[in-house]
Amino acid sequence: MSGPSKGQVLTRSIEDYLKAIYELEQDGSPAQTSAIAGALDVAPPSVSGMVKRLSEAGLLQHVPYRGVQLTEEGRKAALRMVRRHRVVETYLTTKLGYDWDSVHEEAERLEHAVSDELIERMAMALGSPRYDPHGAPIPSRDGAIEQQSFVALADVPVGDVAELRMVSDKDAERLRFIGSLGLKPGVSFEVLARQPFRGPTTIGLTAAPSKEQVIGHELAESLLCVVVEREVG
């Protein structure tokens, strides 16, 4: 009785694997063993072992040496975890005064301990928010998630006006730094200059035009934006 069945009891480990695999799959290709291992901070053989169990449980498909892909059931379970994680982050930030750089760690644990009912009560208390504090979309109860396409700040042409939409929540220090620049989802700015050879980008915040910020290339690659106003030229 280990095949694909409904109402599985998923352990904390399994939930974290599914969520990590879901996120790795987002860039199109199957999730690879070493990438999963890196995301979860475990050794590659541990991943091979878990992948075997998850594929026997019908949560993913494994092509040896090629990677894994979630099944419909696995994707549903993963999206449930993503919803939990992001609702918890939003609740802690909005209702309990957490900073956006410290919620991820707390949510990483709480996501496994909260009941569906608690998540729905939190979402209700927040007015069913659509985005978490880092700009990531919150899947609906039934697993629908907004698919977005962004441009990294590093790729926004000089002269354009853009709005920051989303930032990875994984690195607390980076979040603190981004925040110290006055940047968070929803803030818009003009791209004033960019140095060649993967050099820094200079932006001017729309809200405080006097304040210019210089942003290194690597950081600019992690700031996901939409272009609001294209330079007339």
Closest contact distance (angstroms) between CB of 49 and its own copies is 21
Q: What are phi and psi of 222, to 5 degrees?
A: -100, 0
Which of 8, 23, 40, 108 is in the footprint of DNA by CB under 7 A?
40
Identity of the residue, 37 or 191, whose beta carbon is nearer to Mn ion in the bound complex? 37
Which of 3, 7, 28, 64 is in the footprint of DNA by CB under 7 A?
64
Site for DNA in 8-27 (CB under 7 A): 11-14
Q: What are phi and psi of 32, to 5 degrees?
A: -95, 150
Site for Mn ion in 60-119 (CB under 5 A): 89, 108
Closest contact distance (angstroms) between CB of 115 and its own copies is 6
Buried b (16+ CB within 10 A) or exposed e, 164-178: bbbbbbeeeebbeeb
Which structure tokens are listed for 68? 């894994």
Q: How many residues bind DNA (CB under 7 A)?
A: 26
CA distance 13 to 68: 17
Does 4 bind DNA (CB under 7 A)? Our answer is no
Does 67 bind DNA (CB under 7 A)? Our answer is yes
Closest CA to 30 of 73, 62, 76: 62
The strand ranges marked E within the chain are 60-63, 67-70, 151-152, 161-167, 188-194, 201-205, 212-215, 223-229
Which of 65, 124, 173, 210 is in the footprint of DNA by CB under 7 A?
65
Question: Would you tell me which residues interact with its own copies (CB under 8 A)?
Answer: 92, 95-98, 102, 105-106, 109-110, 112-115, 117-118, 121-122, 125
